[in-house]
Amino acid sequence: MNGEGLPRHDDLAALHILRELERDPGISQREISRRLDISLGMTNLLIRRLARKAWIKVRSIPGRRLLYALTPRGLAEKVRKTRDFVRLSLRYYGDLRTAVVQRIRETGRKKPLVASVGAGELSPILLEAVREAGGSYAGAWDGNGHAEVLVVFERPSRARREAWERVGLAVIDLS
C-alpha cells in the first residue's frame, strides 16, 4: 500500500501471482505473464521477491521446469492482500456513489431521468445513486433516448460533450 491507502501496482500484481501459483503450482512464468498482462521480466522480479519474503517456495523439477508452493506465510499474505483490496474497493464504490448522488442533486433537477455513458460494471452503483438522488435510471445513453442528466465514465470528445449540452443534458463527467 502507498501513503494514500491505495495498493501499488506491484502489490496487486503480487496478489494475482499468488492466486495463479495457488491455482496451478506448475504454471510457467511466461503463462503468468500472459494471463496477467504484465511483462515476463516483471513477473520474474515479483516471483523472486515473493520467494525472498518466504511467501512461496520454488523447486526445480525435470525438464527445466519450476514448481511453486505457497507457504503458510504466503497464504496468510494472500488473504490479507485480498481483504485489503476488498475493503479499498468497497470504500471506492461507496465514495463514488456518494459523489454521484451529490452531483445529481447539484443539477437542481427534481426527479431527473439519468442516463450513462461507459458505466459498464459500475451500472449497479450508478442505479443505486440515482435512486438515492430521487431520480430514475434510463440506462446506457445511445444518443436517441430521453434523459436530463448524463453521467459519463469514459472521456468524451469535446464535440460530443458540446452536443450533449446543446440538447440540454446536464453532464456529470466522471472520466
Between β-strands 56-61 and 65-70, what pairing exists: parallel, antiparallel or unpaired?
antiparallel
The pLDDT of residue 1: 44
Mean pLDDT in residue range 13-23: 93
pLDDT tens string 19-58: 999 999 999 999 999 999 999 999 999 999 999 999 999 9
* pLDDT of residue 5 exceeding 80: no
Q: Over the Cα atoms of the chain, what is R_g?
A: 22
Alpha helices (H) along 53-106: 72-106
The pLDDT of residue 149: 87
pLDDT tens string 116-136: 888 888 888 899 999 999 998
Q: Looking at the domain covering 9-70, what would its CATH class be?
A: mainly alpha
* pLDDT of residue 154 exceeding 80: yes
Do residues 86 and 78 touch, judged by C-beta distance below 8 A?
A: no
Domain 96-173 has CATH 3.40.50.300: no
Distance CA 168, CA 56 (A): 58
Going by the DSSP 8-state scheme, the letter that residue 169 receives in this structure is: P
Mean pLDDT in residue range 134-148: 82
Do residues 20 and 35 touch, judged by C-beta distance below 8 A?
A: yes
The pLDDT of residue 4: 46
- The pLDDT confidence band at residue 6, using thresholds 50, 70 and 90, is very low
Amino acid at 76: A
Whether the full predicted model's pTM is greater than 0.85, yes or no, is no
Mean pLDDT in residue range 53-67: 92
Cα–Cα distances in angstroms (integers) from residue 62 to residues 44, 59, 65, in the given order: 20, 10, 6
Residue spans per domain, the chain? 9-70, 96-173
The pLDDT of residue 9: 66
